[in-house]
Structure 1
Amino acid sequence: MTTAAAESPTARPHRFAVWGDPIDHSRSPALHGAAYALLGWPWEYGRRRVDEASFSDELAALPASVRGLSLTMPLKSLAHRVAVRRDADAEATGAANTLVRVDEGWAGFNTDVGGLARALVEAGAAGAERARVVGAGATATSALLALHRLGVVDVEVAARRPESARPLVELAERLGMVADVAPLGRPGDSADLTVSTLPGDAPVAEPDADRLAAAGGVLYDVVYGTWPTGLASAWQRAGRPAHPGGTMLLHQAVLQIRIFATGDADQPLPDEEAVVAVMRRALVGG
């Protein structure tokens, strides 16, 4: 007779991977591998450099043993489009960083929102009332939803091209938030919290960075591979706290593993506290 453990999806050998371009810097294989080992699951997690042009062909060619994927830039919008069903965060952001096989194709999820919300709480930003989001790209949309989840009601979007922030302002207003836009180098009123969604190699003029730091409260920068960023350096010069984005990567990966295991990001993992601890050690292990 087949045992209950053998019938469990977590007892079967499955393969997963992270795709993106570039991808060599990704810490996701280390995070996932540490979690699978602790849990005793016979799962494998690799990485592959996949660009936008090759995404559809690569996805179609995947063997059935690949149960799910993590997606990083520039593939999140493509993953959203290919998904036959999506969670609420993927729908709201137009981006999916997680795909899981379902009978009719792929289900898409966005764990960046929940991962960032958890990271902000860990950084001590749960009580922020006014926040600033730096940047107006796809990650900024996830940041806005994470801030809303934490109860932030007043938000400013600081962008090089203020007109590009209009969709973010419209989303904030639909969420019941008070939103405004400022040029990157001319921030408005002081904020309790700044979330930077700029890529690590995005140049920010030092005077602009210093003005943001002077009026920016605590900084959470989603970049985790290059530290300090230009903005983080400005916060350090101002004597203000600045946090790198590794904890966002950690917490969104925990949510991904929940999804890979059960299809439900709200279903905790077995002994999740120990899982998070071993993943955190893998994150800082280099």
Structure 2
Amino acid sequence: MSDPITSAPQHLPTRIADVGGIPIHRAIPQRALRKVGAWCFLDHAGPADPAPPGMQVGPHPHIGLQTFTWMIRGEVLHRDSLGSEQIIRPGQVNLMTAGRGIAHSEESQQPWHIHATQLWIALPDSHRFCEPRFQHYPELPQTRVGDFDATVLAGEALGLTSPAEVHSPLMGVDLHAADLGKGAKAVMPLRTNFEHAVLVLSGSVSVNGEALPLEQLLYIPQGADSVEFTCVAGSRLIVIGGEPMDEAIIIWWNFVARTSQEVHEARDQWEACLRGENDENSRFGNPVASTLAPTHAPSLDGMSLRASK
């Protein structure tokens, strides 16, 4: 187990998980780092060229969060209980606000390859019971930082503002080193009141003169006003940050809650939906129009759920 976060930058290992048949690196949450600002989950999928049918994630529920998908390579079809149906393509973001409750599915499209990051944003107490919503962003603001092409995914950064509708002070930036036939370098300004994290998505990258392996996350606590990147051409990384979120949360399965009771109630309501006991007032809405089998919730028997910061 990792030691708790200190006031100095810290390298933290990711762990391997499986999502819809695709191996991914899960960087957040982990024991040493529950969240970065309101970002409470970070998966890196691929780059991978799986056998058909690629990634297949059947209908499953969410509460209390926003899912944020940044597509780098491949295409994925999103369907949800609001009736949304949207293919996300490279360079685009899908933002799903679960609020009081939503369900969705995700299915790779031919030719099945995939490279993406999926993040969760913990909704603040003021918004966590809001009505669910789905938004697709085909275009995002772009600029240059040193030798890197920069895309502002969320919040404000580099003098630009993402159109993605979020409810906490945060930022997310994708940096891609242009293929100049040489290495790339950049100094990126940071907000000193934000904590940040850096994850390499491809290539070979050094941060502030120290190599950052693909399988590690670099956590940068509040106080840093800039960060320096050097890398080989074609490398890619994501930088996220935000004001520390002081609200204690529970992350269990696909839910972000504040109390154990909330988790139990949401789980029971989802399982009732799968038994056909859904009604028009169900928090998870109409059945998702997917041919994939829905996912049952894990058992909570014997589990003790506690909120933590």
Give the TM-score, by structure 1 length.
0.31
Give the TM-score, by structure 2 length.
0.30
Q: Per chain length, whose mean CA-contact separation is higher, i.e. which structure has more relative contact order (CA < 8 Å, sep 6+)?
A: 2
Greater fraction of residues in helix:
1
Greater fraction of residues in strand:
2
